[in-house]
Amino acid sequence: MIKMKKQNKELKEIVKDKYGEIAKQSEPSCCSSGSCCGDAGYTVFSDNYNSLKGYNPDADLGLGCGIPTEFATIKLGDTVVDLGSGAGNDCFVARAYTGIEGKVIGIDFTQEMLEKARKNAEKLNYSNIEFVEGDIENMPLKSYIADVVLSNCVLNLVPDKQKAYAEIFRILKKQGHFCISDIVLAGELPSGIKNDLAMYAGCVSGAVPKEEYLQIIRDSGFENVQVKKEKQISIPDDIMLKYLSRDELNDFKTTGAGIFSITVVAEKPSGLISNYNYRLEEE
């Protein structure tokens, strides 16, 4: 247990450092063009937000793997929580749905991202968006506050995904729901990638098989779990060869294994019971 906690802390520090570096870049992340950031292969082929109401280019660092607001059915006056909010991209789009009557809360544990997001909100003169420092596994939010929870290519970076989904369950109101875009696997990754911490920060080695991911959601107490969108992600050979031999790469390509982004939705039932109920309480 102690060894696992130490490893999880190390993983979080690696992610925090890497995304702090990305936040300091003056231009959007190189991932936004479909290429790879740095040596570790940050290959998260983001979707195009340009036509979306509320979109702010300054907040788009190209780090997503979907558009969670697309299937989130956010209504006027809703309270929306975005997990791993980065520079605020999905928060600003969500606000276009909630209107000034609603509220949007972004959570991130990277100071540089929070600073960037807050500056973006200040420039836009938005008073109903709040960016909060916090860990998704232990959110600094009261229970039952959110109508909708969003996240975009972040939960694959969380070491304890079961704990993260328990926290999502906790902060959602009865019959609230989430829409999350994330990275999952089909088959097994080669050990050279799976065991590399840099590839973990690149959203790859921290991913789990799709069915395991969906089962974590069900085990957390959610209902009506649906995958709304799915697309395969292709990592260029020159990146893969940093972690694999040519033979290992060729073998991987013949296994049928793959890396996918999915956008999944699910609902919290009207009851208060979570199957992973470690922190759920009336407040």
pLDDT > 70? residue 58: yes
Is the model's pLDDT at 44 over the cut of 80? no
Secondary structure (3-state) at 146: strand
Domain that holds residue 38: 2-266
Domain total of the chain: 1
Q: If 0-12 CB within 10 Å is exposed, 13-18 middle and 19+ buried, where does residue 208 land?
A: middle
Greatest CA separation for the chain: 57
Residue 272 lies in a domain: no
* Tokens matching residue 166: 């328990």
Note the pLDDT of residue 20: 72
- Please give the residue that has the higher pLDDT: either 23 or 97: 97
Element (H, E) at 218: helix 210-219
Give the confidence band of 63 by pLDDT, cuts at 50, 70, 90. confident
193 vs 144, higher pLDDT: 144
For position 242, what pLDDT does the model report? 78
In a domain, 282, yes or no: no
Sign of torsion, CA 247 253 257 259?
positive
Residue 125 has pLDDT above 70, yes or no: yes
Q: With beta carbons less than 8 A apart as the criterion, state whether 185 and 235 touch.
A: no
Asked, for residue 275, whether it belongs to a domain, the answer is no
With respect to residue 186, please indicate whether it lies within any of the assigned structural domains: yes
Give the tens place of pLDDT for each residue, 130-140.
999 999 999 99
pLDDT value for 26: 47
Residue 214 sits at the vertex; the CA angle it makes with 208 and 218, to the nearest 5 degrees, is: 135
What's the length of the chain? 283
Is pLDDT of 178 > 90?
yes
More confident residue, 185 or 206: 185
Instruction: Indicate whether 43 pLDDT > 90.
Output: no
Lowest mean pLDDT among 31-40, 57-66, 226-235: 31-40
For the record, the structure tokens of 200 come out as 């973990």
* Cβ partners under 8 Å of residue 82, min gap 6: 90, 91, 94, 104, 105, 106, 107, 149, 150, 151, 152
Average pLDDT of the chain to the nearest whole number: 83
Confidence label for 275 from pLDDT (cuts 50, 70 and 90): low
| Residue 283 resides in a domain | no
| Token couple for 205 | 């080695």
Bin 173: left if φ > 0, else alpha if -120 < ψ < 50, else beta: beta
Q: Residue 125: which CATH number?
A: 3.40.50.150
Q: Is 247 buried (19+), middle (13-18) or exposed (0-12) by CB count in 10 A?
A: exposed
Is residue 279 in some structural domain? no
| pLDDT given for residue 23 in this prediction | 74
**Greater model confidence, 21 or 263:** 263
Residue 88, domain member (yes or no): yes
Question: Looking at the predicted structure, is the pLDDT value of residue 163 above 60?
Answer: yes
Average pLDDT (238-254) is 81
Is residue 239 in some structural domain? yes
Q: How far is CA 100 from CA 118, 129, 145, 246, in A?
A: 17, 9, 17, 54
- Residue 174 structure tokens: 């009865």
Rounded Cα gap, residues 213 and 51, in angstroms = 31
Per-residue pLDDT, 262: 95
Judged against a pLDDT cut of 80, whether residue 30 lies above it is answered with: no
What pLDDT does residue 272 have?
59
Q: What's the sign of the alpha-carbon dihedral 95, 97, 102, 104?
A: negative
pLDDT, position 257: 79
pLDDT tops 60 at residue 145:
yes
